[in-house]
Structure 1
Amino acid sequence: MSNTPSSTLLNTRFVRRLGPHHFAHLRACAEGLAIADCARRYLGVEHGHEAITAHRQAVDAVRAVARRRGESAWRLVGLTIRTQAGSARPDLDEFAAAQGLEAFSESEVVKLYAEAFAADRKTARSQRLRERQLALLRRLEGLAAETPQPGDLVAGWFDGVLAAKLVTAGILTLGDLNARVSAGGRWFASLPAVGVAKARGIERHLATLLPRDVQPPRLLFALSRAPALFDAPSPSGASGARAASPSGERVLDDRSQAALARSLLDAGSDLEAVQRWIQARAGSLATATLYRREAHRLLLWLQYERGENGRGATLAQMGVAECSAFMAFLQHIPPRWISRVRAAPGQPGWAPFRGQLSHRSCRQSITIIASLFAWLQSARYLAANPWVLVNQATGDDPGHKMLDTKALSEAAMAEVLRFIDAQAPSPSRARMRFIVRFVEAVGLRSAELLSARLGDLRMEPEGWVMQVHGKGAKNRIAAVPGQALHALEDYLLARGLGSIQAAAPSAPLLAATQDAMAPIGYQALYEHVRGWLAKAVRASSLPANERDRLAGATTHWLRHTFGTRAIARQVPLDVIQAQMGHASIQTTTAIYGRAPIRRRVDELGKAFG
């Protein structure tokens, strides 16, 4: 960028969306700091000539906001207000003694003093003007500053030239950039004219935009690095040149261009279309991660396994044959597509799969891809959906034991509780005991437990209930029986919050061990529960086969424990369905339906016993 012609630089857009960092930059400049230093710190602009342009664009954008808001003092934005440093002023007595004014009255001395230091009045006026300037910036920030989000396009938060490089490399959003940076190594290798120093500047600016606690998890792989991912050549002998462009995006053919002309999407490539689908359809970060993984696997397969002359294929070029071939591919993953080591995307040994897919994972992948094509056809990005012509049924997994559930037996639960109670009192032990007893009695999902607050519980004429924001962003009411209430009361006391009625409604049901009011994340919950259960199982007197079965028990096993326990205690299936938030009773029956089986055994026993 240092050799960019001045005309090009003037046309470069450094400011498209106003964020808190723009206002921080202007406040720092107002305090008298150098524009270049402020731009480097807050705007991610490294070169001085770029800093001046970026500063002017920020000033223009904020002034425009001020004018639209009817701020009469909009000219204060970006105004350089200088104050005279001057020397220290003497006090009044020192001034009178130094000037030989002892015989003058106090009022006369004060008047002469003010005249002698008239320049300080200008300093005071400048200071008041600066305070008005800072107050205006703070007020405008509250009105206009946007908080950058992982799903925001990079073009909104980086200058035009750099954003174009990122998009060309397949990095469309801040979340994509964060995932690439999080992968480590020379993540910037595919960006033209970006070296180590420029990359570190990008990383610093990204950290300013996205605080670490809101960044999405790392992508499983980055499509733009696809040409360097595989050590083994493709079956046709083609090398990484199979990609149609360095970014891994397809150049649209005539058929694709015709569909795009009627498209409802603002997408110029398959990769962009997939991103639009994820943004529109994924209801949670976990779902978005799953969708991205499956779609990128398909795009990589099209790039390396299909097409002619080493150019790969596009989504629009998929027909019935390609759908069938991809299904067969998922059921028998070639060895070169399986990672040999735990490597980040682009590193030696990395591949899109960690092993052969289970029957369930294969079926899930096909379902997701079919829904992608249906959505793209509805959006008129694709002219047709070949998946509707393909038999997507994969049948049932012959190895699945239908009556086996991932649940803790009564004996196993007793051993787990015995182990927990035998440990020294600690915040970790109190939290684990609450999780076990509460989830066993209420049947919440992990995400539901993590998002719950104490204010979600209330006493109704029917008894204690809690409102749950569950799967599919649906609300439901779950009953909270006595076992769960007692566990919660004990946990709140251990956290020093008092009773359910006395504790703050904003308190999370699950809290960090160091802070009673701080919630925890999914990874922390997963590792916490799995670690405790593994230790409890190893220390138990359970039979060896049951210890082996429980070796990988997680939080979700406690939800299944609720379902199996409720069935064993003859709770009606419709009650279990409503409590667990299943969309249909068929789901409940499929997982926990021992009652119909018992009736079938009894009736047939009467006839043929």
Structure 2
Amino acid sequence: MAEPRSVSPDTLPEKLTLERGYTSKDFTALRAYVQRIPPAVIARTYYDPDEDPHAATSVAMGRHLNRMLDTLVQLALAHGSKALADYLRASIRKHGQPKLTAVTFRMVTEAAQLAAMPPHPDHPIGAWLRPRVTRRLKGEGIATLGELVAFCNRRGASWWRSIPRIGRGRARAIVSWLRRQQTALGLTVDADVDSVEQDCLPLVVAELVEVVPDSNPSGQATDRPTRRLTLAPLERLSVPHALSGANGENRSTAFCYIQAKHDLDAVRAYLNRYRDQPKTLRAYTKELERFLLWAVVLRGKALSDLRVDDCEAYKDFLKSPDPRFVGERFARHSPRWRPFALPKSGTSGADGSASRSATLSPDSQRYAVRALRAAFTWWVDVRYLAGNPWKAVNDPVVVKRACVMKIERALPADLWRKLRDELDARSAEEGARQWRAVRAAILLMGDSGLRREEAAIARRENLSPSFYGTLERPVWELTIVGKGQRERTVPVSAATLVALRAHWADRRKVFGAVEDGNPPSGPLLAPVIIPSTDASRRRHRKGRGGSALHANEAGYTADGLNRLIGRMLNELVETMNALSLDERMRLGRANAHAFRHTFGTQSVAEEVPVDVVQKVLGHASLQTTTIYVQAEKKRMLEEIAGYYSRLQTLDDI
């Protein structure tokens, strides 16, 4: 008969929860271990190797006892007295592990046994989960079991993605344990929390979802638990026939210029006008689907039945949206998608609804009202509607700001130079492809004043040497289509060209030069590492060679570029030397758009004419560009005020 094959401990499934099933025999054995009795003697004295596999060898016995001791110490830290916890932490710091006496061992076991009660929502996660997992969850602000359940319900199947080194496997093990404790906790983990994402398939099939009027339109608390509303984005939205607007009171009787049988057709016809303007299309889609969902679900009316008082009610709704319309950001195919995004500091109740509403700024409220008024005006013009109720609704009151743009994130000259030097140094390292990509992006925005959207769509075929350059001072120019579909040409610095060439070399593409009027083509900035997510696979389809290096060169999205820059800046804040505390704070607040503002402030400081800066930045008005002049004047006055203060201090001495 063949000997049974031993199993390495490393191949066993990882246990994420703390063991609670120790017997009196285990506690007696552990007491002997604490008193320095060898594990082999303990195994022979207290255990039967045939019944207790961990007593088969002295190594296995020692591993079992150490694991038990670690568990009891963690329970004591979570549930014991402050004096005991302080002693254990001090012992661990000094010796690397707790050194227990007979007295402290008794206190540890008593604390552990007191903690051997059913889990409760208020229990700290450290009392039930292993230390490594506990540390990672606490880093996300999760302290108790109740908060962990709420976090999972709020985030859904992908709740674990924002937590470092949790992963799908550990996440499913945690959720499985939470489900087994639902009765004791008195909390329910939503059904889709541990869904498994299949390759290239969304978690939820993109079928149409019918929304219906809510039985509790006020959203106020009732005797019964409030159920999560069924909401869906515009492309998946279906409404009952009675609320479709097919027979709306405001429907025009004249010949209609568009083929629209109901309100959804009319909305899609209006949005189709902006199919070539993706940013505008995205913004208008958001406003119209919010309004349509509000009308059907909370107002119980079709869009073509709404009157002035309904529009006024929606204007009030925008000041403080119903919490059930608010949630964290999810993919549009997810049942957890909500029309309004919950602020990062927002929390969720046990039923999954937001515990507080998102607050729209007055500017956002006014934008929504104007966008809806424009849509209704178009529907009247094409004879779908007979009248526009939004014409009788005033815009929300907005305080006119003295400074339209927030340019305080622009980097000072010294910090800008330090950042450029650090990017050059890190880009010179072997395998630093991400650093070379982020250096090219930052210099393209910081030296040419591009918006992040403009940097994302910039292409190689639109970059060429300028006729006005010389051998001593070569100048390249880039033609882009920016805000408002206005085309402009911006200069590109020699440092940016060096960074772009290195970035293209990482992509195994020849940056080249213009020859015979046929320059290389492709996005100036493109990912060198393609994430293995469904969205990335769809965006960067593999070429015929089947290699990711020969992908379809889709380039970065504006949001993807912003995330890349933000992630690399955070690393610099943590690891970059020779930074003062103020510089670390400034760099930590910077985002992609900060480098465009850096170009504006630095070029004005170097006495570049304001009208030239205006043309490079693409401002429609010179008045907008003069904000950078004011910022430089403010900086000068602050520096001089500091100088005066230092002089006064010297005089007092």
1:140-155 aligned within 5 A:
none
Residue among 260, 268, 277 paired with 1:275: 268
Q: State the distance in 1 between where 2:241 and 2:390 align.
A: 27
Residue 588 (structure 1) aligned with residue 576 (structure 2) = no
- Give 1:8-407 correspondences, 5 Å limit: 224-227=209-212, 234=219, 245-246=239-240, 249-253=243-247, 255-257=249-251, 259=252, 261-306=254-299, 311-319=300-308, 321-339=309-327, 347=335, 350=338, 352-354=340-342, 355-396=358-399, 404-407=407-410
How far is the alpha carbon of 1:548 from its aligned partner? 4.3
Task: Give 1:506's aligned amino acid.
Answer: S
Q: Is the 8 A contact 1:225 1:345 kept in 2?
A: no
Contact 1:223 1:300 in 2 (8 A): no
What do the CA deviations read for 1:247-272 (whole angstroms, capped 9, x no partner)? 79523446333x16432221122221
Alpha-carbon offset, residue 360 of structure 1:
3.5
Alpha carbon RMSD of aligned pairs, Å?
A: 4.6
Deviation track 1:553-589 (CA, whole Å, cap 9, x = no partner) reads 3322222222222233333333222222233334434
2:441 aligned to 435, 439, 462, which one?
A: 435
Which residue number corresponds to residue 455 of structure 1? 461
1:521 maps to 2:536: no
The 3-state SS of whatever aligns with 1:268 is coil
Aligned to 2:591: 554
CA distance in 1, matches of 2:454, 2:238: 44
Partner AA of 1:336 in structure 2: R
CA distance in 2, matches of 1:223, 1:552: 41
Deviations 1:296-344 (A, max 9, x none): 10011112333xxxx424245232x333322221122232332278586
Shift in alpha-carbon separation, 1:528–1:343, aligned structure 2, 3 A: closer
Structure 2 CA distance, aligned partners of 1:421 and 1:511?
Answer: 19
User: 1:394-436 deviations in whole A, cap 9, x for unaligned?
Assistant: 3137898976433233243334334434433322221111111
- For 1:467, the equivalent position in structure 2 comes to 479
Determine if contact 1:249/1:269 at 8 Å carries over to the other structure: no
User: Does the 8 Å CA contact 2:452/2:593 hold for their aligned counterparts?
Assistant: yes
2:613 maps to amino acid: I
SS in 2 for 1:251: coil
Given residue 423 of structure 2, which amino acid in structure 1 is its aligned partner? I
Letter in 2 for 1:363: R
Q: 1:272-305 deviations in whole A, cap 9, x for unaligned?
A: 1111111113533333222111101001111233
Residues 249 and 314 from structure 1, CA distance in 2 versus in 1: closer, same or farther, beyond 3 angstroms? same
Cα distance in 1 for partners of 2:480, 2:337 equals 43
Structure 1 length normalisation: TM-score? 0.53
Contact 2:245 2:305 in 1 (8 A): no
Q: Distance in 2 between matches of 1:444 and 1:420?
A: 19
Aligned residue pairs, count: 383
In structure 2, what residue type is equivalent to 1:276?
A
Question: In structure 2, what is the Cα distance between the partners aligned to 1:375 and 1:345?
Answer: 29
Q: Which amino acid aligns with 2:212?
A: P
1:456 positional shift: 0.8
**Larger CA deviation: 236-245 vs 264-273:** 236-245
Confirm or deny that 1:506 pairs with 2:505: no
* Partner Cα distance (1:244, 1:487) in 2: 50
* 1:227 positional shift: 3.0
Shift of 1:453: 2.2
Query: 1:267 is paired with a residue of what secondary structure?
Result: coil
Q: Report if aligned partners of 1:232, 1:336 keep a CA contact under 8 Å in 2.
A: no
Q: Tell whether the 8 Å contact from 1:360 to 1:397 is kept in structure 2 after alignment.
A: no
Confirm or deny: 8 A CA contact 2:284 2:371 kept in the other structure: yes
Whole-Å separation in 2 of the counterparts to 1:509 and 1:343:
28
- Please say which of residues 402-411 and 391-400 is displaced more in the overlay: 391-400
TM-score by length of 2: 0.50
Name the residue aligned to 2:7. none
Contact 2:446/2:595 (8 A) holds in 1: yes
Q: Aligned to 1:255, what secondary structure does the other structure show?
A: coil
Distance 1:579 1:544, change over 3 A: same
Whole-angstrom distance in 2 between the partners of 1:293 and 1:286 = 11
SS of residue paired to 1:227:
coil
Task: Tell me the distance in 2 between the aligned counterparts of 1:450 and 1:287.
Answer: 17
- 1:571 pairs, out of 608, 621, 633, with 608
- Pick closer, same or farther for the CA change 1:535–1:344 going to 2, 3 Å: same
Per-residue deviation, 1:438: 2.1
Q: For 2:327, what is the secondary structure of its paired residue?
A: coil
Matched-pair contact (CA < 8 Å) for 1:564–1:592: yes
Code of the residue aligned with 2:521 in structure 1: it is S
State how far apart, in whole Å, the 2-side matches of 1:516 and 1:438 are: 24
TM-fit CA distance, 1:369? 1.9
1:480 pairs with 2:489:
no
Q: How far 1:442 moved relative to its partner? A: 0.7
Residues of 1 paired with 2:371 and 2:567: CA distance?
Answer: 32
Note the alpha carbon deviations across 1:41-74, whole angstroms, 9 max, x for none: xxxxxxxxxxxxxxxxxxxxxxxxxxxxxxxxxx
Q: Distance in 2 between matches of 1:584 and 1:545?
A: 33
**Matching residue's letter, 2:441:** I
Distance 1:362 1:501, change over 3 A: same
Distance of 1:253 and 1:409 partners within structure 2: 61
Give the corresponding residue for 2:76: none
